[in-house]
Structure formats: structure tokens, C-alpha cells
Amino acid sequence: MRSPSTRRTAGGEPISSEVTDRPITLSQVARRLEDSGSGAVVLFVGRVRPEVQAGRRLTGLDYEADRRMALARLSDLERQARRRFGTRRIHVVHRIGRLRVGTASVIIGVAAAHRSMAFEAARFLIEELKREVPIWKTDRWARGPTGRRRRTRRRPRGARSPG
């Protein structure tokens, strides 16, 4: 994760996304989008939301990833977004490990000539990330047993952590 500009997929394409167990910040993503030709930048931050269920309080989420495949899928998604929306810069970072409530789990940044491209690409990336990238979260509750967070019908999609 240290030198993302030199990492490449098996196919030789540069990978700009990151899956990291360190804190992620807006400024780290914004830096990667610097481009004087882009008139619009859209940034999305997903954070662990507080929740109480049946008297139990969510203290955080544990994130895990199939890191190699996650990077390959993120790099696919970046390529798709570039092609579909004509964006100029994309950078996605996803944090894994034990994250407390309020902590950023994912940051997506897109720079494009026009705002509609940037908005649509950012939305596309977060929706596809949730569906297609091998990353998982598990709930951690203050008391009682833990319950895995599934793409479940029990709750509306994206209920707690929209990131």
C-alpha cells in the first residue's frame, strides 16, 4: 500500500486504489485528484454509523478483504467508470480492520471536466464497490453476541453504514 503508483494488476495496469489497515483521510484522496483540467471534483466518505438494536449498542465494525482480488476489482471499476463517464481522475481507498463508530471506512474521489460526470461516476463506484468488491463487515455490539452484517432483506440496503 505504500507506493500505489508502482503497483500493477496482473495485466500490467496501474492500480490507484488502496485497501489499507491505516486511517484514511479526505486530503489523502484529494491530493490524488489534482488536475487543472477538471472543473468538478466529487468526494464521498462512508463512515461507521452509530446504531442501537434491541438495547444493544453498535461499537464498531470489523472489515476484512480478499486484498488481492479487491484491488483487482477496484481497478476494474475505475476503468469502467473512466470509460462510461469520461472522468479524468479516480481514487478509491477502503480501510479494513477494527473500525469504531464515526470512523471513515471508504473514501471515493472523482475529478472530471463537468459535474455530472463526477457525480455519476462517484455514485457508480460506491454502488458497485458494495456489490462487486470482496470486502466484508461484521458488527460489533457492546453487549451480547455479534451478528454478521449481511446484504440482508431484514434491513433496507445500506442501512447503517452507507459507505
Partner 1 sequence: MPLAERKRRQEAWMTRTVQLTLFATAREAVGASRLERAVPSTGVRLDTLLESIAEEHPRLRPILRNARVARNGEYVVGKRLRVRPGDEIAIHPPYSGG
Asked whether the beta carbons of 43 and 30 are under 8 A apart, the reply is yes
Q: Write the interaction track for a copy of itself spanning residues 43-62; mark x where CB under 8 A is met and - where it is not.
A: xxxxxxxx------------
Please tell me whether residue 144 binds partner 1 under the rule CB under 8 A: no
Smallest distance from partner 1 to CB 162, Å: 7
Which listed option, a copy of itself, partner 1, none, makes contact with residue 28 (CB within 5 to 8 Å by class)?
none
Query: Rounded distance, CA 18 to CA 12, Å?
Result: 16
Question: DSSP state, 116?
Answer: H
Is residue 68 within 8 A of residue 9, CB to CB? The reply is: no
Pairing type for strands 56-65 and 97-100 reads: antiparallel
Q: Which one of partner 1, a copy of itself, none interacts with residue 68, CB within 5 to 8 A by kind? A: partner 1
What's the half-sphere exposure (Cβ side, CA atoms, 13 Å) at 31?
A: 7
Sign of the CA dihedral running 58, 67, 15, 7: positive
Please tell me whether residue 90 binds a copy of itself under the rule CB under 8 A. Answer: no
Q: How far apart are CA 32 and CA 52, in angstroms?
A: 37
Which of a copy of itself, partner 1, none does 5 bind, CB closer than 5 to 8 A by kind?
none
x-or-dash string of contact with partner 1, 45-84, rule CB under 8 A: -x----------------xxxx-xxx-x------------
Query: Which residues sit at the interface with a copy of itself, rule CB under 8 A?
Result: 26-27, 30, 36-50, 101-102, 112-116, 118-119, 122-123, 126, 158-163
